[in-house]
Structure 1
Amino acid sequence: MHWIALRWPPEIAAAKEAALPPPEALGWWALQFTPHVAWVDEALLLEVSACERLWGGRLGLMRELARLNPVPEVPVQRVQGSTSLVALARLRMFARGEPPPQELPAGLPLDTLSAARDHLGVLSHLGCRNWGDVERLPRDGLVRRFGPALRAALDVAYGLVPDGHEWLTLPDVFEQKLELPALAESAPELMWSAHRLLAALQIWLRARQRGVLALELQWTLDLKRLNGIALPPHQQLTVRTATPTQDTAHLRRLLSERLALTSLAAPASWLRLRSVETAPWAGASTGFLPEDNRPGDRLHELVERLSARLGPQQVLRAVAQADYRPEEKQAWRPALQGDPPVAAAASQPDALYPPWLLREPLRLELRDGRPCYRGVLRRLAGPQRLEAGWWGGPGQGGERGHPAMRDYYIAESPEAGLVWVFRERPTGFLSEDEAKEPRWFLQGLYA
């Protein structure tokens, strides 16, 4: 058996104002190295005898523990031992700046053994200064005078009986609660405390190989009534992402935007973060060339943040519609609204439709018989002829609409660039004047 004891010094975390994840989350992080992880007092203990060779030996594993530290601002203290209690005792000596004794475990100071701390005064009067002094006392007398716990701890420390610990396991759903250090009366105060929970969420997601799609932040109100009005016990908000993510910086920005638009009904005393929906994590795809990996936010992250800040109805995206009519080929929906895939419109396979279609075609002016849109248009491709007998619809020419015949062109505007325009072909529904001089309309933009 071989054990490693870890500790993140809280005094260093406080000096650097670094938020340590909850102990349970640090245990989840350690599960990537070994399935045998347990918290004992102030230390996180890892039993690594069965898996240390997978990490290149004990020295390689110790290096990986430092390299993958979940709190880079706080260096992790780490020591090794043949049993869990020896590793824990050496960690306590390391934290105090004391060198390890030459003889292990007999030379370890008595105050580094948790089971002996309640009896240090009496043991000192008996002349006991280290573990070896106590171990040499008669077993029966030691048990009668100090109880079975001290003798049992020494048996474990010397390897006479196996270590027994309740191993940590990874939950299927992330849910963590946190008591706030002081009552939070504003959204920024809540966000400051939520950083610890988001760090724990990232550790859980990486351990489960999952990406979060939706999470819920809930806070407990400290008052039951305010100004004579009954208050709910909790308030909460839900944040959703377009794709699975493990990026807590992006989740932090989304929560900040949503909290900035939320009013607290009363001061909050507790905070809870829960994963609502997750999906398998595929990792990030990057290119071999540096120019392929552009810095900055990805598009969907920008859209999510703008939607959280401005409201979902203010950030729209174009959605393809399965329709022959150009006016109905595109609809604008909230960018974060999850729509099922829409079949492509049945049309000519070589049609080059623009990405931006106008809600209503814009009639163009004519100069010497040539259509104009920010200058005289120059036709580049076409015509593409489109004919339909149900063009209008109710209120637009009858129950089934009136026939429409159009010739579509790709044209170039001096100022607007490439545009998609059409010319009406004469039909029996046009007046005599309209039939003499065909009308031109702007249908879409390529810019």
Structure 2
Amino acid sequence: MLWIALHLPQLPLDTALRCRLSHPSDAAEAAVLASVAAPACLQEQPVVICERKLVGWCNQRAEEAGIQPGMSETSARALTAELQAFPRDREQEAQALHEAALWSLHFTPHVVLCSSGLLMEVAASLRLFNGTQNIASALLSGLMELGLHARLASAPTASGAWLRAQSDQSTRVFLASDQADAALDELPLQVLESARSHLETLNGIGCRTIGQLRRLPRAGLTRRFGKEMLREIDRAYGHESEAHQWFEAPIVFDARLELPARVESTEALLFAARRLLLQLGGWLAARHAAVASITLLLHHESTRQRDHRSTPLTIVLGMPSRDIDHLTLLLRERLAQLDLIAPVIEIALKANQIAEQAAPNNELFPTSASDAESTGRLIERLQSRLGNEAVRQLSMFADHRPEKSTTTTAIHGRQNTHRNNRQDALIPHGAGARPTWLLQKPLALITRQHKPFYQSPLTLLTGPERIESGWWDDGLAARDYFIAQNDKHLLLWIFRLRTMNDVTGSGWFLHGFFA
């Protein structure tokens, strides 16, 4: 087994800051979101999180001003007049952990929630993601987009990985199985929860690491400090079994995000919606599903003139997908065309329709399925940019006349495809071969030696196929169709009129070319 622990040492600070400012991934997004952050200069100010009037967590600016955890809030304010102090919000911390767990489901279904982080069993996922380094990079990248900073470590046991993640002395994230015990021996005793109340006594006898503690007589440790300390060590080294309660994703996906300030830019909304899409990706992976339709709800600020409640933005995909980058691209196209009726103060993302879908097959050569997916994504992007009615497809129509047997219809996802399949069933199966190139207007042909002529006298290969239809719309067509060939071996689709009323010439017409 291989466990990865994600420890969030600054979780209260991260949750407070991400509710008041955004964490853009590049300079362009930072410029866009400058109007969203409230206050804009918060990153440059000393910030502390207080609990019971004591400083619990502080950022780098606060540490540079001399503020340390455990200091009273009054003493911290005396050190700098620019101090920004916020109370601890455990509800927001739980929500942040829930978001991180949803993102982690993208890599493994075995996720455990801890008080200040996550545990993940990823042994079965190594081959899928091409190794531990790729998993670690993707995990940390997603957490950064969620506004969280994590310390990552691994071990063959869950408790061992969690102890290593809590220590900033762990320089190597991934270790070989025979190196795990030595790495745990080097950890300081502060990482053991049961040893924190006895640190002064243990330091007094020269015991400062877990390895030194393990070399002491077990019977004496039990009499002096109780059994829990040894049990915690045994679980970390794999000498005692562990039971875990796995994180379960909700049955339906409906995530909300309160914005830090009034947002009037659709580009800033896209960055905020990205956090919700990351959670959606993990939720879909856990359910082995893909989304066919999503709705982004923009909740507006109320005004005196009118109470603007929300603006729904629904995206229907041609093919179900769980590709977060693709969904982000579709949202970007739709938001670029949207005029906000009022400032947005909260957004919500719902998965309207999902479909079961296996993991993607990373085939060496492209298949028909991958080609269809590429085409479907192109159609979805054009629809997002131009509108659903502007992108049309060629569909069969139940009419024997070739020029009226096809029509263009708007593409409305999978339902439209099913309707077209029902229309295709109305086409008679006994119809003859049809050319790939049909002329918009039939071309009149001359005859030579009693044969229709096109570049040379034509030889009739098959036919006639009689079509007599259209009496109901005053477009009666009475024709006999033939497949003909000229001296250059070009296959043509020609017909001869059965009635010559108001028609001059030979009565022969060219209607299409075969490839």
- Alignment map for 1:372-411 (pairs within 5 Å): 384-396=463-475, 404-409=478-483
Query: What residue number does 1:269 align with?
Result: 345
Q: 1:258 is matched with which residue: 321, 324, 334?
A: 334
- Alignment map for 1:296-311 (pairs within 5 Å): 298-311=374-387
1:201 aligns to what SS in structure 2? helix
2:298 counterpart of 1:230: no
Q: Is the 8 A contact 2:295 2:312 kept in 1?
A: yes
Query: What residue number does 2:296 align with?
Result: 217
1:38 aligns to what SS in structure 2? strand
Inter-partner Cα distance in structure 2 for 1:382 and 1:346: 22
Inter-partner Cα distance in structure 1 for 2:7 and 2:130: 15
2:155 counterpart of 1:77: no
Q: 2:505 is matched with which residue: 417, 427, 437?
A: 437
2:430 counterpart of 1:345: no
Query: What residue number does 2:188 align with?
Result: 108
Inter-partner Cα distance in structure 2 for 1:3 and 1:348: 63
Query: What residue number does 1:92 align with?
Result: 166
Inter-partner Cα distance in structure 1 for 2:460 and 2:151: 67
Q: Is the 8 A contact 2:446 2:506 kept in 1?
A: no
- Alignment map for 1:26-425 (pairs within 5 Å): 26-29=103-106, 31-32=108-109, 35=110, 37-46=111-120, 64-69=131-136, 71=138, 74=141, 77-80=152-155, 84=159, 87-94=161-168, 108-110=188-190, 112-113=191-192, 124=200, 154=229, 157-158=232-233, 166-221=245-300, 223-225=301-303, 228-232=305-309, 234-284=310-360, 298-336=374-412, 337-340=416-419, 341=421, 342-343=424-425, 345-346=427-428, 348=430, 351-355=432-436, 362-364=441-443, 384-396=463-475, 404-409=478-483, 420-425=493-498
Shift of 1:15: 9.6
Cα gap change, 1:127 to 1:306, in 2 (>3 Å): closer
1:94 aligns to what SS in structure 2? coil
Inter-partner Cα distance in structure 2 for 1:124 and 1:302: 65
Inter-partner Cα distance in structure 2 for 1:62 and 1:309: 33
1:225 aligns to what SS in structure 2? coil
Cα gap change, 1:286 to 1:65, in 2 (>3 Å): closer
Inter-partner Cα distance in structure 2 for 1:304 and 1:419: 37
Residues 347-384 of structure 1 deviation map (CA, whole Å, 9 limit, x = unaligned): 645x32134657xx625356788999xx9698576564
Shift of 1:168: 0.5
Shift of 1:23: 0.9
Shift of 1:259: 1.6
Residues 67-109 of structure 1 deviation map (CA, whole Å, 9 limit, x = unaligned): 334726749721337663x543321213676999979689733
Inter-partner Cα distance in structure 1 for 2:355 and 2:425: 25
Inter-partner Cα distance in structure 2 for 1:353 and 1:62: 48
4+ long deviations beyond 6 Å: 8-11, 13-16, 18-21, 60-63, 98-107, 125-129, 135-142, 290-297, 367-372, 375-378
Query: What residue number does 2:101 align with?
Result: 24
TM-score (normalizing by structure 2): 0.60
Inter-partner Cα distance in structure 1 for 2:277 and 2:512: 44
Q: Is the 8 A contact 2:102 2:249 kept in 1?
A: no
Q: Is the 8 A contact 1:364 1:441 kept in 2?
A: yes
Give ranges in structure 2 of 5+ residues lacking alignment: 15-21, 30-95, 142-149, 174-179
Shift of 1:46: 3.9
**Number of residue pairs the alignment of both structures matches:** 401
Inter-partner Cα distance in structure 1 for 2:23 and 2:389: 43
Q: Is the 8 A contact 1:205 1:246 kept in 2?
A: yes
Q: Is the 8 A contact 2:294 2:352 kept in 1?
A: yes
2:246 aligns to what SS in structure 1? coil
TM-score (normalizing by structure 1): 0.68
Inter-partner Cα distance in structure 1 for 2:257 and 2:443: 63
Letter in 2 for 1:201: L
Inter-partner Cα distance in structure 2 for 1:292 and 1:17: 37
Letter in 1 for 2:298: W
Q: Is the 8 A contact 1:426 1:438 kept in 2?
A: no
Q: Is the 8 A contact 2:8 2:151 kept in 1?
A: yes
Shift of 1:338: 3.4
Letter in 2 for 1:93: S
Q: Is the 8 A contact 1:211 1:279 kept in 2?
A: yes
Letter in 2 for 1:304: E
Shift of 1:394: 4.0
Residues 141-200 of structure 1 deviation map (CA, whole Å, 9 limit, x = unaligned): 99xxxxxxxx89747524599767542013343333333354432222111222233233
Residues 99-130 of structure 1 deviation map (CA, whole Å, 9 limit, x = unaligned): 999796897333x355787x79xx75997786
1:170 aligns to what SS in structure 2? coil
Inter-partner Cα distance in structure 1 for 2:128 and 2:394: 51
2:427 aligns to what SS in structure 1? coil
Letter in 2 for 1:200: Q
Q: What is the alpha-carbon root mean square deviation over aligned residues?
A: 5.2
Q: Is the 8 A contact 1:5 1:88 kept in 2?
A: yes
Q: Is the 8 A contact 2:290 2:322 kept in 1?
A: yes
Q: Is the 8 A contact 1:320 1:344 kept in 2?
A: no
Inter-partner Cα distance in structure 2 for 1:105 and 1:90: 10
